[in-house]
Amino acid sequence: MEPDSASIAALIFILLIISTNFGMYTIVRGATTGGDLPWMSALRDFLSKPLEGPSNKSMDDLRKCVKELEKQVGR
């Protein structure tokens, strides 16, 4: 590589890193301020929702049993 093309490649790489960081900053900033963007709320819901699996289903059964027992005890 010639020195000119190497410096251009380095400049493009630096600009790519800066633009990626700025994009991530805006995404996180929007998520923390509670923006009204529909795609942001969909992303927030997707990331906060636990994965469905057998362990989660067994925990749901356990929660139901605990609620039933609390009703019987009178809490």
In SS3 terms, 15-66 reads as: HHHHHHHHHHHHHHHHHHHCCCCHHHHHHHHHHHCCCCCHHHHHHHHHHHHH
pLDDT in tens, 16-67: 999 999 999 988 887 777 656 677 677 777 777 766 666 677 788 888 999 9
Tokens representing 54?
A: 């057998």
Provide the whole-model pTM. Answer: 0.42
